[in-house]
């Protein structure tokens, strides 16, 4: 997958994590997509849930049949869910690449926010994206103040000889519409069975390992700390996770704490993971965490000694669970 963006800082984590994702010149990529027609997929795609994946799959299949490229056109930072997004730009890029998209176009919202629906179709879909077909969901809106809906989009595209493929709502097992809003609630309530059912993958957290208090190693549980992003997190607490490390083929198990470390800290928000059977310096490396299960809420202990005992219990609990699953599913691999 290639990126079309002028804001490199938003995707630097994913580019470091996956060295195969080439970053090429903005102008060169714009020129490249202008050379032949493309399949364009429009939407915010927060989370890349099962509904999104169905649109992506259909678009990719069509592109293969017609020997065309797929472009996901989305906003890099969308004001509506700046604070409570499910996926950061880098996480979205990771998931879109998994779904075999050719180009990810990250648009600056400010640049197009005042376009009328007509202008948007002409300037973006026709002139820049060079679309032969467009895919989007039933509730897609566009243009100044969200003045355009899918009915208007279909009409405007038809005038330009572009076909619109509209995706009807995708339902979950209880016949409820799968939506980013519902998934956000399930994440906050730590209902990871539902999160996985609606996303079609485990909740992921991708980020660079930064320096913390350097106390973890002293109490016997070093933790790889990630910067706290403005996005939706499960409630403060301890979680069983899988960890993938940049440039490392292995998948590791571990336990993660999200919170303010009230026992020892003045309240800095942190996301930190103790990786099992691991002993390397990974400061500055990008890691990807898959969140599997809630173990317990974060707590203020009376002493660091008590905290240390409890972390030991958390680690043992999760290790036992892993060995139970390994036996049950007869898995040979290190990570569950």
Interface ranges with ligand ADP (CB under 6 A): 209, 211-217, 222-225, 274-275, 278-283
- Do the strands 224-226 and 203-210 form a parallel or antiparallel pair, or are they unpaired? antiparallel
Strand partners, 203: 291
Q: What is the DSSP letter of 113?
A: T
Residue 190 in the binding site for ligand FMN (CB under 6 A): no
> In angstroms, rounded to a whole number, what is the distance separating the alpha carbons of residues 261 and 259?
6
Residue 261 in the binding site for ligand FMN (CB under 6 A): yes
Choose the one of ligand FMN, ligand ADP, none that binds residue 311, judging by a C-beta under 5 to 8 angstroms depending on kind: ligand FMN
Are the beta carbons of 245 and 287 closer than 8 angstroms?
A: yes
What is the nearest approach in angstroms of ligand ADP to the Cβ of residue 225? Answer: 4
Q: Which residues lie below 8 Å from residue 323, measured CB to CB, with a gap of 6+? A: none
- Based on CB atoms, which residue is closest to ligand ADP, 81 or 223? 223
Half-sphere exposure of 2 (CA within 13 A, CB side): 15
- Based on CB atoms, which residue is closest to ligand ADP, 190 or 225? 225
What is the nearest approach in angstroms of ligand FMN to the Cβ of residue 223? Answer: 4
- Based on CB atoms, which residue is closest to ligand ADP, 201 or 213? 213
> In angstroms, rounded to a whole number, what is the distance separating the alpha carbons of residues 300 and 63?
54
- CA-CA distances (angstroms) from residue 11 to 7, 15, 88, 165, 264? 8, 6, 9, 29, 33
Residue 240 in the binding site for ligand FMN (CB under 6 A): no
Residue 214 in the binding site for ligand FMN (CB under 6 A): yes
Query: Which range in 63-71, 76-84, 149-157, 295-303 contacts ligand FMN by CB under 6 A?
Result: 295-303
Mask for 274-293, x = binds ligand FMN (CB under 6 A) = x-------------------
> In angstroms, rounded to a whole number, what is the distance separating the alpha carbons of residues 182 and 301?
34
Name the 3-class secondary structure at 41: strand
**Contact footprint for ligand FMN (CB under 6 A):** 212-216, 221, 223, 225, 238, 255, 257, 261-264, 272, 274, 298-300, 307, 311, 314
């Amino acid at each position: 997958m290639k990126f079309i963006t002028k804001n490199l800082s938003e995707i630097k984590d994913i580019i470091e994590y996956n060295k195969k994702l080439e970053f090429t010149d903005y102008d060169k990529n714009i020129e490249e997509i202008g050379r032949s027609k493309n399949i364009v997929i429009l939407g915010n795609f927060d989370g890349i849930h099962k509904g999104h994946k169905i649109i992506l799959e259909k678009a990719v299949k069509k592109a293969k049949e017609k020997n065309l490229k797929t472009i996901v056109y989305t906003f890099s930072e969308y004001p509506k869910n700046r604070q409570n997004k499910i996926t950061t730009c880098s996480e979205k890029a990771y998931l879109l690449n998994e779904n075999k998209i050719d180009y990810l176009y990250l648009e600056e919202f400010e640049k197009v926010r005042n376009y009328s629906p007509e202008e948007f179709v002409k300037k973006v879909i026709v002139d820049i994206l060079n679309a032969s077909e467009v895919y989007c969901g039933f509730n897609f809106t566009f243009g100044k103040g969200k003045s355009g809906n899918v009915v208007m989009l279909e009409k405007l595209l038809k005038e330009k000889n572009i076909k619109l493929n509209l995706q009807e709502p995708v339902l979950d097992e209880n016949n409820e519409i799968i939506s980013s809003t519902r998934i956000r609630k399930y994440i906050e309530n730590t209902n990871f069975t539902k999160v996985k059912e609606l996303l079609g993958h485990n909740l992921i957290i991708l980020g660079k390992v930064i320096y913390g208090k350097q106390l973890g190693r002293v109490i016997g549980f070093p933790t790889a700390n990630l910067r706290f992003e403005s996005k939706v997190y499960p409630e403060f607490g301890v979680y069983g996770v899988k960890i993938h490390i940049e440039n490392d083929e292995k998948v590791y198990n571990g336990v993660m704490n999200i919170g303010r470390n009230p026992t020892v800290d003045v309240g800095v928000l942190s996301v930190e993971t103790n990786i099992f059977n691991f002993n390397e310096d990974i400061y500055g490396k990008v890691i990807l965490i898959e969140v599997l299960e809630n173990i317990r809420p974060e707590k203020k202990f009376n002493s660091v000694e008590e905290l240390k005992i409890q972390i030991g219990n958390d680690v043992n609990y999760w290790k036992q669970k892993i060995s139970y699953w390994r036996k049950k599913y007869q898995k040979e691999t290190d990570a569950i």
